[in-house]
């Protein structure tokens, strides 16, 4: 019976009383398919030998698992000597007679890997050597990255490499109706997970993206460009009948000009101009008209003027001669007026004015025009000048007057004043008649610009309109002064400001600022008498010479273990200076998480740098050697030490530039210390550093984007590298971004990809890594925040249990001081808090009112507000963390 009390078939053996058992069970031939490595999952029960009397010499509690690769089935033939042993399998749980009585089934599950395998198939075999076993099931499987669709590209089933640290790069194929934007790629990881999506496909014209596929635009819609934009409704006066339209076609009598984009509405030629009038004097004839009532949906409106001279019959017209001059020109006019000169007296001219736009030439039928006939010998046409009375009778009215024409031969019947709102052109206008040469017009709108013009009516008819006169009415409420709503506050200037990273903390001095590098070394490092040093073993090779381990007799006559870096003979001065630069830097530091410099030997040969000995060597190889051996708390302890070392460096104003697990050393107590100092030289020395396009040498996988692209190294770029070190630690020395090329790493980071959580990594730690990898460097955590965050995790280990997102994470630890001050409207004190060293909410929670005063908050009201918020903060932290702050 299985655990659900259902009957099952098992293979059993139980010859526990007989010596020298050698019983075999072999599987059928198993087809390998695409596997390069297979997993064998065994479920079995095993009887505890202690629970069976009289079998102490013969009863066994293990069995052996074997395999044999062949290209074909061997039928019933079986030769154990052909088989290779995979492992001895023992039970985690064995059962006793009592369990049997209680019908308790203690089922064991064991998984073993077999590979690499290359033949067509394989057999599995089980050897029993005298145990009491029931084999319940055998599951043989391999892992693959399953077919998937990502970024509109399909990726086939892919079998991972046998070697778990290298990835398979797979190119995707665009889905139907999509095309490549950047080559779509995914990497298949050892566990069958797809990693690092790069590049993408986008939907072709006429198709839009929906749920990972490209669908044709519906009728009435279109998409004119390739890309992940949606189909749009056809623009006005256009349509698409079918599906998948790239453009919409114009309705009848509507058109698109050659340069109109497909997104633009279809348009039509304009209607003819309206209200053509003329104004004639001795030398020039001015024609004026109003724009057409229908612009055809476009703005590129122009006018052409054609002149004809006609006889008494309408069909006796001929085009005017070249002597007529049009100012500015007869064609392509953009204003609604043209002046005609050099015309003959005593002639009849007919002017045809045509409106045109960008699609006028698309029609081949005659275009409608507005025409006016002018007789140049009619006489009595005069122009008038309008003037307004500066003392207008009331705000919304105007008093206009003009001079009566002097040389008029005909009797004036009356004057007509036409006026309209300038903004509305002449689409609608009002007029008033008067016999006197003046008028008062009332009922105008306030704050509105009006246009006026005037014409005379004589017994011979109307004259042309006078030139236009513009006038803007006043605002009724002009004298109301708006109340001032806000009074500007002068920002309170912080009373305290410091340019140092922390006031009172020692600052790092760049040894290159010393003219004589030997002087720098002796400023910061003790000279050691070489007779006090005993070199014992060579433990590695550095850029400048061997690295040895040995002993140093201290001045107190005690012997301590040391590592000794030597400068090999034949060096040039520059190499000596670069070699000793590291000592000049290291000698300035004094912190339990920074490798300690014991001293230097410069006055005899070989030149040496002596540092404390770190028994477990560099962190990356140490972790690889002890894969899976530490508890999460131990790993977090290492990370805390590294963060604390880098916090010390950043407080000193030193930027490391090459934080990586290979540059961290580990001692026998698992204490991690930052090593490898020397600025640019560090990078020259680092085999991971690659040349960038700007010629610098940079360890791409560990370096922040701004440092790669424009060499912006800072404590914030060290924070990025620290995030990568976290990932290296939590994955036991895995290579960041595996086997991806540097170029792909840069590209994927740019596209927003970040390393996933290593197996078994608590979600809080991965979130901290992601925090360190923020593109915007000011958003990355400060090292002091990282240390206090890790301290909290260590004190409160239950927060490390969550291994998947969605479980609760305490974000309050990352609210910045800036956010907090903004929330209580005290932003003006940000720099005062930071300058005084209060850069985490934790540190703020400890502040007293004296501290608040001391950092420069002088106003009593502000002190109260800040202190009251600090009290709330304290309660919150207390509540969330369950410990006292």
CA–CA distance, 495 with 492 (Å, rounded to integer): 9
* DSSP E strand stretches across 641-694: 664-666, 672-674, 690-691
CA–CA distance, 197 with 183 (Å, rounded to integer): 10
Instruction: Kindly state whether residue 592 participates in binding ligand ADE, applying the rule CB under 6 A.
Output: no
Q: Is 90 annotated as a binding residue?
A: no
Instruction: Kindly state whether residue 535 participates in binding ligand ADE, applying the rule CB under 6 A.
Output: no
> Segment contacting ligand ADE (CB under 6 A): 238-246, 497-505, 576-584, 606-614?
606-614
Is 651 noted as a catalytic residue in this protein? no
Q: Which parts of 659-698 interact with ligand ADE (CB under 6 A)?
A: 665
Instruction: Kindly state whether residue 547 participates in binding ligand ADE, applying the rule CB under 6 A.
Output: yes
For 80, which DSSP code? G
- The residue whose two tokens read 């009598």 is 253
Residue whose CB is less far from ligand ADE, 398 or 649? 649
β partners of residue 548: 538, 564
Binding map of ligand ADE across residues 856-875, x = CB under 6 A, - = no contact:
--------------------
Q: How far is the CB of 689 from ligand ADE (least distance, A)?
A: 18
Q: Tell me how many degrees the CA angle 583-589-594 measures, rounded to the nearest 5.
A: 90
Q: Tell me which H or E stretch contains 550.
A: strand 546-553
CB atoms within 10 A of CB 322: 7
* 278: nearest Cα among 307, 249, 311: 307
Helices (H) and strands (E) in the chain, counts: 16, 46
Residue whose CB is less far from ligand ADE, 267 or 588? 588
CA–CA distance, 456 with 410 (Å, rounded to integer): 11
> Segment contacting ligand ADE (CB under 6 A): 297-305, 475-483, 612-620, 772-780?
612-620
Q: Write the DSSP assignment of 245-280 as a string of letters.
A: -SSPEEPTT-B--TT--TTSPPB-PPPPPEEEEEEE
Residue whose CB is less far from ligand ADE, 450 or 622? 622
Q: How far is the CB of 661 from ligand ADE (least distance, A)?
A: 13
Q: How far is the CB of 609 from ligand ADE (least distance, A)?
A: 10
Q: How far is the CB of 543 from ligand ADE (least distance, A)?
A: 12
Q: Tell me how many degrees the CA angle 296-299-301 measures, rounded to the nearest 5.
A: 80
Q: Which of 540, 592, 797, 805 binds ligand ADE (CB under 6 A)?
A: 540
Main-chain dihedrals φ then ψ at residue 62, nearest 5 degrees: -135, 165
Q: What share of the chain is helix, strand, coil (3-state, %, to 5)?
A: 20, 30, 50
For 295, which DSSP code? -
Q: Which residue is nearest to ligand ADE (CB)?
A: 563
Q: Which of 122, 125, 614, 707 binds ligand ADE (CB under 6 A)?
A: 614
Q: Which of 465, 613, 654, 783 binds ligand ADE (CB under 6 A)?
A: 613
Residue whose CB is less far from ligand ADE, 127 or 618? 618
* 584: nearest Cα among 513, 522, 650: 522
* 175: nearest Cα among 154, 156, 194: 154
> Segment contacting ligand ADE (CB under 6 A): 400-408, 607-615, 692-700, 725-733?
607-615
For 708, which DSSP code? H
Q: Which parts of 346-375 interact with ligand ADE (CB under 6 A)?
A: none
Q: Tell me which H or E stretch contains 723.
A: helix 715-730
Q: Is 541 annotated as a binding residue?
A: yes
Q: How far is the CB of 159 from ligand ADE (least distance, A)?
A: 40
Q: Distances from the Cα of 715 to the Cαs of 448, 590, 648, 781, in angstroms?
A: 61, 19, 11, 10
- CA 717, 721, 722, 727 dihedral sign is positive
CA–CA distance, 728 with 736 (Å, rounded to integer): 7
Q: Tell me how many degrees the CA angle 329-330-336 measures, rounded to the nearest 5.
A: 90
Q: How far is the CB of 635 from ligand ADE (least distance, A)?
A: 21
Q: How far is the CB of 646 from ligand ADE (least distance, A)?
A: 18
CA–CA distance, 749 with 754 (Å, rounded to integer): 6
Catalytic residue among 48, 128, 578, 658: 658
Residue whose CB is less far from ligand ADE, 551 or 874? 551
Q: Write the DSSP assignment of 803-844 as a string of letters.
A: -STTS---GGGG--HHHHHHHTT-GGGHHHHHHTT--SHHHH
Residue whose CB is less far from ligand ADE, 596 or 874? 596
Instruction: Kindly state whether residue 617 participates in binding ligand ADE, applying the rule CB under 6 A.
Output: yes
Q: Is 41 annotated as a binding residue?
A: no
CA–CA distance, 381 with 87 (Å, rounded to integer): 119
Q: Is 546 annotated as a binding residue?
A: yes
* Chain centre distance of CA 397: 61
Q: Which residues in 185-196 are b (16+ Cβ under 10 Å) and which e?
A: bbbbbbeeebbb
Q: How far is the CB of 639 from ligand ADE (least distance, A)?
A: 20
Residue whose CB is less far from ligand ADE, 584 or 715? 584
Euclidean distance between the first and final Cα of the chain, in Å? Answer: 57
Q: Which of 170, 175, 563, 682 binds ligand ADE (CB under 6 A)?
A: 563
Residue whose CB is less far from ligand ADE, 601 or 772? 601
Q: Using DSSP, state whether 361 is helix, strand or coil.
A: helix
Which region, left, alpha or beta, applies to residue 875 given φ > 0 means left and ψ of -120 to 50 means alpha? alpha
Which class for 260: exposed (0-12), middle (13-18), buried (19 or more C-beta within 10 A)?
middle
Residue whose CB is less far from ligand ADE, 359 or 611? 611
CA–CA distance, 350 with 374 (Å, rounded to integer): 6
Q: Which of 284, 539, 809, 867 binds ligand ADE (CB under 6 A)?
A: 539
Q: How many residues bind ligand ADE (CB under 6 A)?
A: 10
Q: Is 215 annotated as a binding residue?
A: no
Residue whose CB is less far from ligand ADE, 307 or 665? 665
Residue whose CB is less far from ligand ADE, 310 or 670? 670
> Segment contacting ligand ADE (CB under 6 A): 300-308, 608-616, 773-781, 808-816?
608-616
Instruction: Kindly state whether residue 611 participates in binding ligand ADE, applying the rule CB under 6 A.
Output: yes
Q: How far is the CB of 619 from ligand ADE (least distance, A)?
A: 11
Instruction: Kindly state whether residue 597 participates in binding ligand ADE, applying the rule CB under 6 A.
Output: no
> Segment contacting ligand ADE (CB under 6 A): 223-231, 539-547, 776-784, 848-856?
539-547
Residue whose CB is less far from ligand ADE, 111 or 541? 541
Q: Is 545 annotated as a binding residue?
A: yes
Q: Tell me how many degrees the CA angle 621-624-628 measures, rounded to the nearest 5.
A: 145
> Segment contacting ligand ADE (CB under 6 A): 304-312, 395-403, 613-621, 808-816?
613-621
Q: Distances from the Cα of 237 to the Cαs of 220, 240, 357, 403, 774, in angstroms?
A: 11, 11, 17, 52, 49
β partners of residue 13: 133
Q: Which residues bind ligand ADE (CB under 6 A)?
A: 539-540, 547, 563, 595, 611, 613-614, 617, 665
Give the residue numbers marked as catalytic: 658
Q: Which residues sit in the known binding site? A: 539-547, 565
Q: Which residues sit in the known binding site for ATP? A: 539-547, 565
């Amino acid at each position: 019976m299985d655990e659900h009390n259902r009957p099952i078939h098992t293979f059993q053996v139980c010859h526990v009383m007989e010596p020298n058992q050698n019983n075999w069970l072999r599987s059928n031939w198993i087809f390998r398919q695409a596997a390069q490595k297979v997993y064998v999952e065994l479920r079995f029960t095993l009887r505890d030998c202690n629970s069976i009397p009289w079998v102490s010499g013969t009863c066994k509690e293990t069995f052996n698992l074997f395999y044999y690769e062949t290209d074909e089935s061997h039928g019933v033939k079986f030769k154990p000597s052909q088989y290779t042993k995979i492992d001895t399998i023992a039970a985690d749980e064995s059962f006793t007679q009592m369990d049997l009585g209680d019908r308790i089934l203690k089922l064991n599950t064991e998984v073993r890997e077999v590979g690499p395998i290359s033949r067509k198939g394989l057999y599995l075999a089980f050897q029993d050597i005298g145990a009491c076993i029931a084999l319940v099931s055998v599951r043989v499987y391999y892992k693959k990255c399953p077919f998937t669709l990502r970024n509109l590209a399909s990726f086939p089933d892919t079998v991972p490499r046998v070697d778990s640290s290298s990835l398979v790069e797979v190119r995707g194929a665009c889905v139907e109706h999509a095309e490549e934007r950047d080559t779509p790629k995914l990497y298949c990881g050892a566990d069958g997970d797809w990693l690092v999506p790069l590049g993408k496909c986008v939907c072709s014209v006429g198709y839009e993206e929906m749920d990972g596929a490209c669908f044709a635009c519906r009728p009435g819609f279109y998409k004119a460009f390739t890309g992940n934009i949606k189909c749009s409704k056809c623009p006005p006066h256009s349509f698409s009948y079918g599906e998948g339209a790239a453009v919409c076609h114009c309705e009848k009598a509507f058109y698109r000009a050659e340069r109109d984009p497909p997104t633009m509405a279809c348009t039509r030629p304009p209607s003819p101009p309206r209200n053509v009038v003329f104004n004639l004097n001795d030398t020039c004839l001015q024609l004026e008209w109003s724009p057409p009532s229908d612009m055809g949906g476009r703005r590129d409106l122009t006018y052409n003027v054609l002149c004809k001279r006609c006889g008494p019959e309408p069909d006796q017209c001929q085009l005017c001669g070249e002597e007529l001059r049009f100012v500015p020109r007869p064609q392509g006019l953009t204003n609604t007026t043209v002046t005609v000169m050099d015309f003959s007296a005593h002639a009849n001219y007919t002017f045809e004015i045509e409106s045109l736009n960008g699609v006028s030439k698309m029609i081949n039928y005659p275009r409608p025009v507005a025409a006016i006939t002018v007789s140049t010998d009619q006489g009595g046409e005069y122009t008038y000048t309008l003037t307004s009375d500066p003392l207008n009778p009331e705000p919304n009215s105007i008093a206009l007057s003009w001079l009566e024409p002097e040389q008029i031969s005909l009797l004036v019947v009356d004057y007509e004043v036409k006026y309209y709102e300038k903004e509305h052109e002449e689409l609608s206008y009002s007029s008033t008649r008067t016999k006197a040469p003046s008028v008062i017009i009332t009922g105008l709108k306030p704050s509105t610009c009006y246009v006026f013009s005037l014409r005379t009516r004589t017994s011979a008819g109307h004259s042309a309109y006078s030139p236009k006169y513009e006038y803007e009415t006043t605002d009724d409420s002009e004298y109301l002064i708006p109340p001032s709503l806000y009074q500007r506050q002068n920002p309170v200037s912080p009373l305290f400001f410091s340019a140092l990273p922390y006031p009172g903390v020692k600052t790092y001095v760049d040894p290159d600022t010393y003219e004589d590098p030997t002087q720098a070394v002796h400023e910061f490092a003790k000279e050691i008498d070489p007779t006090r040093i005993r070199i014992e073993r060579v433990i590695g090779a550095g850029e400048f010479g061997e690295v040895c381990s040995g002993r140093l007799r201290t001045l107190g006559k005690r012997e301590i273990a040391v590592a000794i870096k030597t400068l090999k003979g034949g060096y040039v001065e520059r190499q000596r200076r670069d070699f000793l630069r590291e000592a000049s830097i290291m000698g300035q530091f004094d912190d339990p998480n920074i490798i300690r410099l014991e001293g230097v030997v410069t006055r005899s040969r070989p030149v040496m740098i002596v540092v404390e000995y770190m028994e477990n060597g560099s962190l990356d190889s140490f972790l690889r050697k002890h894969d899976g051996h530490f508890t999460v708390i131990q790993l977090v302890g290492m990370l805390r030490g590294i963060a604390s070392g880098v916090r010390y460096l950043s407080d000193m104003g030193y930027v490391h530039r090459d934080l990586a697990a290979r540059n961290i050393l580990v001692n026998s107590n698992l204490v991690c210390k930052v090593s490898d100092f020397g600025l640019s030289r560090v990078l020259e020395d680092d085999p991971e550093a690659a040349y960038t396009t700007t010629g610098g040498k940079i360890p791409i996988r560990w370096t922040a984007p701004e440092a790669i692209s424009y060499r912006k190294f800072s404590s914030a770029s060290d924070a990025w590298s620290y995030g990568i070190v976290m990932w290296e630690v939590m994955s036991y020395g895995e290579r960041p971004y595996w086997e991806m090329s540097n170029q792909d790493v840069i590209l994927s980071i740019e596209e927003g990809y970040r390393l996933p959580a290593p197996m078994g990594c608590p979600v809080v730690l991965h979130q901290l890594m992601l925090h360190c990898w923020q593109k915007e460097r000011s958003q990355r955590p400060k090292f002091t925040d990282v240390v206090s965050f890790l301290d909290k995790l260590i004190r409160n280990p239950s927060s490390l249990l969550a291994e998947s997102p969605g479980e609760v994470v305490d974000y309050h630890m990352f609210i910045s001081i800036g956010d907090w001050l903004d929330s209580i409207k005290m932003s003006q004190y940000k720099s005062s808090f930071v300058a005084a060293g209060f850069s985490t909410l934790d540190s703020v929670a400890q502040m007293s009112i004296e501290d608040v005063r001391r950092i420069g908050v002088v106003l009593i009201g502000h002190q109260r507000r800040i202190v009251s918020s600090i009290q709330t903060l304290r309660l919150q932290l207390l509540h969330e963390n369950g410990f006292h702050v």
